[in-house]
Amino acid sequence: GQNIDQPTEMTATEGAIVQINCTYQTSGFNGLFWYQQHAGEAPTFLSYNVLDGLEEKGRFSSFLSRSKGYSYLLLKELQMKDSASYLCAVNNFNKFYFGSGTKLNVKP
């Protein structure tokens, strides 16, 4: 089966840094994606990793270790608008398997 785990909820302060972890066990692997989903809206693509290491895109970075089945999303200089759910998803031969998402609450 496919198993993707993320913390359910996290709280952080505006301006701070937060790291959202994701561990996975899947039958195949073609890349790991992070999506952001605001309440009541569709998920939007944030980042993609297929090789080990860190990918940086502005305030957001994503890290992957394939040998450990582990990824994290790093959000810097948090803003109130970053309050959302963050979904970790593994691409397994054209199907995406999603974690349940981490709800991030950013407080002033």
Partner 1 sequence: GAGVSQSPSNKVTEKGKDVELRCDPISGHTALYWYRQSLGQGLEFLIYFQGNSAPDKSGLPSDRFSAERTGGSVSTLTIQRTQQEDSAVYLCASSLVRAQANYGYTFGSGTRLTVV
Residue numbers at the binding site for partner 1 (CB under 8 A): 4, 31, 33, 35, 41-45, 48, 50, 87, 89, 91, 94-101
12 and 83 in contact (C-beta within 8 Å)? no
Query: CA 35, CA 92: separation in Å to the nearest integer?
Result: 16
Strands 53-57 and 70-75: unpaired
- The pair phi, psi for residue 106, each rounded to 5°, is -100, 125
Residue 9: CB minimum distance to partner 1, A: 10
Of 93 and 108, nearer to partner 1 (C-beta) is: 93
Q: Closest separation between CB of residue 105 and partner 1, Å?
A: 14
38 versus 77: smaller Cβ distance to partner 1: 38
